Amino acid sequence: MSTPLLYTKAIDEEQEKKLILREYRALLRALKQRLKKGDRKIVRRAFELAADAHKETRRKSGEPYILHPLAVARIVVEEIGLGVTSACCALMHDVVEDTEISLEDIAAEFGTNFARIIDGLTKISNVVDIKASASMQAENFRKILLTLAEDPRVILIKLADRLHNMRTLNSMSREKQLKIASETTYIFTPLAHRLGLYEIKTELEDLALKFTQPDVYLDIVRKLKETKRDRTRYINEFIKPVKEELGKQDIEFEIYGRPKSIHSIWNKMRTKHVSFNEVYDLFAIRVILNSPREREKEDCWKVYSIITNYYQPSPERLRDWLSMPKGNGYEALHTTVMGPGGRWVEVQIRTQRMNEIAEKGLAAHWKYKEGAHNESKLDAWLKHIGEVLNNPDTDTLDFVQDFKLDLFTEEIYVYTPKGDMRVLPKGATALDLAFDIHSELGARCIGAKINYRLMPISQELKSGDQVEIITSSKQKPSEDWLNFVVTAKGKSRIKYYLREEKRNIAEDGKEILYRKLDHMHVTPSVQNLNELCAYFKLPSPLDLYYGIAVGSIDLKPLKSFTVTGDRLFQPQKETKPEAKPVPHHEHEKEMTAKGAELIIFGESSDKILYKLAQCCQPIPGDDVFGFITSGEGLKVHRTDCPNAAQLMANYAHRIVKTKWAKNKEISFLTGVKLTGLDDVGIIQGITNVITGELHMNMRSISIDSKDGVFEGTIMVFVHDREELDELCRRLGNIKGITKVERIEASGE
């Protein structure tokens, strides 16, 4: 009876073997141009070792695990442009962590170079550990950056690993999808951006949106499909005269239209508060030239001239990254022109070399480097990572927040009096530049001459500024500096100096406390110091010493402490019953009921108390998750909340799966924003819909009119998302109202 089953299993195994072999051969084809004598043998051995190590393992989707490292190796070669060593390390990236094979085994068979890269990959393999604390998550992020500074191939392989995981995330549970997608947005997308991997960055953003906000993603995908024919027709109309003119020139070229990424369309809709149909730049025209290196700039500007002969450019939308490449190596000429039918169209002009750097980032950038002494801004940034990481900064959470600012921001270019150019994030101040040049220069900075005019250290810099830093030996960093410094290096150095200053002052407080404890015949043990910190509600003994030194902590309460043997115990406090707030009116009654309402979460029918996050004001029907706070219990956030990615990435262990319990008796406060023509009776029409037709409870209405156009905000109580959607639909049908939208989440 079991023979047919065995036969089916044998067929499945045979098909799987063929699939694995097909993927392996595809990898060899991708590596063909890079294979030197003996390389094929190394790749085969790496594949055999990985296949043998993972032979009993399967992925969540049910497929053999070896297909994952094979896919990662192909991404590393085909999409990032790395070679044989990186491909072999990608094949073996999980073997040390998941099997009994050690780094010593790898080093013995493949060499120390392979072992070092795999060691780096192993160290950062569990960037998201569900049980990890926030500080551990931050420490993991720090490890990622350390490996980036030591050998950038580690992080490039890790990005390929993350990209394949995101491509195959469908087989994971919803909870895991949210955590992994949020962490991708929080850590890996900014890294891909900073390393110039624009194609990978774009795909990661789109995939993260697909899993965090599936409705939004699918809606934009559907609308892009519906408008594809019109878009293609328009692109062809735009390209035709330009193509004819370029054909007459002595330039090899390729010209095509490319739709914007789903994430960038959604981002524009969200930030500009426009609908899909109002996003004017749904696509960009790209011109790729096959020009020799010495003629690249000349040919790009020639193409720009031809395009602007046909279409009027917008002067403020010209981006010249030919003369001044971005910090991640990106070079191109971008302009926005008025196309047929009065539509603005973005045009990107670059050469094949520039295009490869734009798509393959770091790897392509190194490939085209001219001479060993030509250090680029990207190389300088990698060196800068090392400097920041070597800083004795203990607060890793702060470090992550500060460093992330450096990853995504736009850049400005400023000059020293000697003509040296420095690249800083947009919004950087004179003090940021001082710290960028040297830590001690920043610590002693008292002002700056910007374009020969004396300015304060807080002065924001602009591209092209010439800046001379003025110092004084008497200057010391102050806490106020943290309010206007924006770079990670500047912030971390200021915090370091402040901590050193605090430690010096704390020494006096430490001496006072130790004398007091000695008088009480108590030793300053760890337990006793922790008892004192708990009593004074302080995070560490250093804060305790500092408070004593500056006089903010009085040691008189020590008299009421109990001494038992060598231990110190704080006095027992009398606990008073907590007064219950009494609601004053109907709305407060509604909100109290809502706050105390029970929701079902997880797979069981357990019920717990919860609060709704004020930053995004979720209502039933919204896609949500629960976050366990340290002081306020469970808080429910929308998955598109501005704080969601940070919470899920940094505090994954506090996220709980949450779903709405059906309850039509409870109301939830939400807001609607209206825009329209200021006409007689418009207010009456709005209130009729809300209170007359839908019988909703309205808390407030605010209307502001200017030059015949009004903008209004209405706060109403609804039972769920369906009611809110119905309200928006009916308000949109009122004559004169042009736009109705829910008030979107705002960061706290």
Q: Express each pLDDT in 499-523 by its tens digit.
A: 888 888 888 888 888 888 888 888 8
CA distance 429 to 465: 11
Residue corresponding to tokens 């490039």: 156
Q: Are 594 and 612 in contact (CB under 8 A)?
A: yes
- As a whole number of Å, the end-to-end CA separation of the chain is 65
Q: Express each pLDDT in 164-216 by its tens digit.
A: 999 998 888 888 888 888 888 877 888 888 777 888 889 999 999 999 889 89
- SS3 label, residue 745: coil
CA distance 215 to 220: 9
- Flag residues of the chain having pLDDT under 50: 1-7, 128-133, 370-374, 392-394, 574-598, 600-606, 747-748
Q: What residues contact 209, with CB distance under 8 A and at least 6 apart?
A: 216, 217, 262, 263, 266
Q: What is the pLDDT of residue 147?
A: 62
Query: Distances from the Cα of 719 to the Cαs of 601, 686, 725, in angstroms?
Result: 19, 19, 11
Residue corresponding to tokens 């209170």: 691
Length of the chain, in residues: 748
HSE toward the beta carbon, residue 381, CA cutoff 13 A: 24
Q: Are 702 and 624 in contact (CB under 8 A)?
A: no
Instruction: Name which of 2, 5, 12, 101 is nearest 50 in CA terms.
Output: 101
What token pair was written down for 246? 């370029």
CA distance 155 to 145: 8
CA distance 529 to 545: 10
Q: Are 447 and 455 in contact (CB under 8 A)?
A: yes
CB-based burial, 15-40: b 16+ in 10 Å, e otherwise? eeeeebeebbebbbebbeeeeeeebe
Strand partners, 467: 450
234: left (phi over 0), alpha (psi -120 to 50) or beta: alpha
Q: Are 96 and 102 in contact (CB under 8 A)?
A: yes
Q: What residues contact 709, with CB distance under 8 A and at least 6 apart?
A: 675, 676, 677, 678
Instruction: Name which of 426, 412, 418, 411 is nearest 468 in CA terms.
Output: 418
CA distance 433 to 676: 47
Instruction: Compute φ and ψ for 399, nearest 5 degrees.
Output: -60, -45
Instruction: Compute φ and ψ for 463, nearest 5 degrees.
Output: -55, 135
Query: Which amino acid appears at position 159 of this protein?
Result: L
Q: If residue 9 lies in a helix (H) or strand (E), which one and from where to where?
A: helix 3-31
Q: If residue 509 lies in a helix (H) or strand (E), which one and from where to where?
A: helix 488-519
Three-state secondary structure readout of 469-489 = EEECCCCCCCHHHHHCCCCHH
Q: What residues contact 476, with CB distance under 8 A and at least 6 apart?
A: 443, 497, 501
Q: What is the pLDDT of residue 607?
A: 52
HSE toward the beta carbon, residue 414, CA cutoff 13 A: 29
Strand partners, 335: 347
Three-state secondary structure readout of 208-235 = HHHHHCHHHHHHHHHHHHHCHHHHHHHH
Instruction: Compute φ and ψ for 415, nearest 5 degrees.
Output: -125, 145
CA distance 451 to 283: 40
Instruction: Name which of 201, 198, 176 is nearest 187 in CA terms.
Output: 201
Query: Which amino acid appears at position 181 of this protein?
Result: A
Query: Distances from the Cα of 611 to the Cαs of 167, 583, 619, 634, 647, in angstroms?
Result: 34, 17, 11, 6, 16
Q: Which residues are catalytic?
A: 97-98
CA 342 to chain centre: 35
Q: Are 301 and 291 in contact (CB under 8 A)?
A: no
Q: What is the pLDDT of residue 281?
A: 76
Domains, the chain, in order of start with CATH, read 14-214 (1.10.3210.10), 220-367 (3.30.460.10), 377-496 (3.10.20.30), 497-569 (no CATH), 586-656 (no CATH), 668-742 (3.30.70.260)
Q: What residues contact 291, with CB distance under 8 A and at least 6 apart?
A: 251, 252, 299, 300, 351, 352
10 Å Cβ neighbour count for 725?
Answer: 13
What token pair was written down for 580? 């219950």
Query: Distances from the Cα of 72 to the Cαs of 92, 210, 738, in angstroms?
Result: 10, 21, 48
In DSSP notation, 660-717 reads PPP-TT--EEEEEEEEEE--TTHHHHHHIIIIIIS--EEEEEEEEEETTEEEEEEEEE
Q: Are 467 and 448 in contact (CB under 8 A)?
A: yes
CA distance 569 to 567: 7
Instruction: Name which of 349, 337, 231 is nearest 286 in CA terms.
Output: 349
- SS3 label, residue 337: strand
Q: Are 382 and 365 in contact (CB under 8 A)?
A: no
Q: Are 360 and 353 in contact (CB under 8 A)?
A: no
CA distance 270 to 662: 29
Residue corresponding to tokens 């949500």: 624
Q: How many helices (H) and strands (E) does the chain have?
A: 28, 22
